[in-house]
A = this chain, B = another copy of it.
Amino acid sequence: MRNTGASFSAGQCKFTVWAPEKDAMQLVIDGRPPADMLKDEEGYFELDVSDIAPGARYRFAPAGGDSYPDPASHFQPDGVHGASAVVDHEAYRWSDAGWKGLPLQDLIFYEVHTGTFTPEGTFEGIISKLDYLSSLGVNAIELMPVSQFPGGRNWGYDMVFPYAVQHSYGGPDGLKALVDAAHAKGIAVFLDVIFNHLGPEGNYLPQFGPYFTDQYCTPWGNAINFDGEWSDGVRAYFCQAVMHWYEHYHLDGLRVDAVHMMFDNGAVHFWELVSRELNVMRQRMGRNFYLIAESDLNSPHVVKSPENGGWDFDVQWLDDFHHALYVLLDESGRDRYEDFGSIGQWGKAFTDGFVHSGEYVRFRKRRHGASSAGIPGEKFLVFNQNHDQVGNRVGGERLSMLVSFERQKLAAAAILLAPYLPMLFMGEEYGAQTPFFYFVSHSDEELIQKVVEGRRKEFENYKWEKDPPNPQDETTFQGSKLDWSEPERGEHAALLRWHRALIALRKTHPALRHFAKNDVRVNIVSDTCLVLHRRSADQQTELACIFNLGE
């Protein structure tokens, strides 16, 4: 499968760009005359350049017209509208040769937004917190998207260069340093990637090829072209992006955004293609790489093997667990999640997985989902909150700002004692009181107005009474940063100790290290009380966890 972008090795650089419907392409390197590239029959333009140094800035000019940054750029040192820069991936001196990854069942995730996790808002900032994370006991950082997005403030889902590392976070070398340092401390690093759309500013892909299709729609406009005319190049582009993160950044896996908004009705589904290529790559790399899906489908197909018609994800997010528990923790949540509310649903989330496994769901105005009863627990990831639930509240309130200290403790136990992979949202472990807002930093006035208005409209629909803070305003971003003086104080410190203790228990208790559904039982004691029974693989050890939601 073809690779694109600038591939630098030993003073030589091969430039490749896919533009099947263009007749001509020029490579425009800063300080040199434009050079014609040669097109092959698959629609790829190539040019080998010797005598070039890493860091060299370049663009591509399709059909003799304007020049644009490289769709497969590894680095945009001047932002999304600037030139791309050649990266020498051989230059970084890795020290993680001994890192073999972690078994899937051992993973305890911690979701991080690089820009707001630390005062620095960089990868280096995260490195300074690795000891803290180690002492907490989490062993898998899940970075919100770091692919290049417009400006310096963004959740990351507006990214427009899937292969590039955000310059304001520290660029390629910064990410490598983080992964290397994390591995040194026994912490895996996962990255959130978006394969269902590109952001609204700085998307130059349509200048090169038919990356998008009007055959299917997404909330963000036309869908990515995974099955139409010329889709081979699009499939290769996104498939190679997976390999790129694996190979060049030593990542331990990817969390893939909203896989239900990727449409592919061809004979070989995009994720089947990725599965094949990834198995080859795993052989080569000698350690594992996990794919985690955010899926709104409640479908077992997501984690099934391609032989069984599946997409071969290792893990999928279990939103139903969140919804079922959240409405029990916070009564006002029932307005937002009208199809949840009974403790039996939460029990089903523990024993089966999907709460909606074919039932009619009012919110969706249709039956939803299929049974996940046969799927092992390690194939699901659970959380009490993530960037979405917090950031999509008008006040950006975390769970800690909505429910009592005791209920936060119960919620922590729920995910950390569950037979699933748990994930904390940065700051959750100490009950942070700082909000997490939605923020952007676009440069186009019209787009900014659209985003601000769109956001206001969305909250009106949800019947929130006040307006959200202006996403473009820098104070909205600054106000979303964690306050690292908090965890040392009072109840924060107590909650932090509670998390440490639960994580330690999870790592050592034999009943908590066994995820088979047969050995997970739930007794519903009352409308507000449930007992979770876990049993060890050798059937010798049992654990009963009593969750009492009564006042």
Residues on A facing B (Cβ under 8 Å): 20, 42, 214-217, 227-232, 260, 263, 265-268, 297-301, 304, 307-310, 358, 360, 364-370
Complex contacts, A358 vs chain B, CB 8 Å: 267-268
Option from B216, B267, B299 in Cβ contact (under 8 Å) with A369: B267
State in angstroms the CA–CA spacing of A310 and B301 once bound together.
11
Q: Which residues on the B side are within 8 Å of A300 (C-beta)? A: 267
For the complex, give the distance between the alpha carbons of A366 and B369 in Å.
Answer: 32
Cβ of A297 and Cβ of B266 under 8 Å apart?
Answer: yes
Number of copies: 2
A368–B297 alpha-carbon span in the complex (Å): 26
Contact sample, A vs B, 12 pairs, CB 8 Å cutoff: A20-B365, A42-B360, A216-B263, A229-B364, A263-B265, A265-B297, A266-B297, A267-B299, A267-B300, A267-B368, A268-B358, A307-B308
Give CA–CA (A231, B361) in the complex, Å.
12
Instruction: Answer whether A365 and B229 are a contact pair too, CB < 8 Å, given A215-B217, A308-B309, A309-B304.
Output: yes
Main secondary structure of the interface of A (DSSP, over half): loop
Residues of B contacting A299 in the complex (Cβ-Cβ under 8 angstroms): 266-267
**A309 to B308, alpha carbons, bound, how many Å?**
5
Chain B residues within 8 Å of A370, by CB: 267-268
Q: Min CB distance, A407 to chain B, in Å? A: 32
Assembled-state Cα–Cα distance A303/B28 (Å): 51
Of all A-B residue pairs in the complex, the 9 with the closest CB atoms, nearest first, are A309-B309, A267-B299, A229-B365, A267-B370, A267-B369, A231-B366, A232-B366, A230-B365, A268-B370
Known: A215-B217, A216-B215, A301-B309. A360 touches B232 (CB 8 A): yes
Give the docked Cα–Cα distance between A139 and B309 (Å). Answer: 34
Residues from chain B with a CB closer than 8 A to the CB of A307 are 308
Give the complex CA separation of A142 and B268 in angstroms. Answer: 30
Q: Please, how many angstroms separate the alpha-carbon atoms of A229 and B360 in the complex?
A: 11
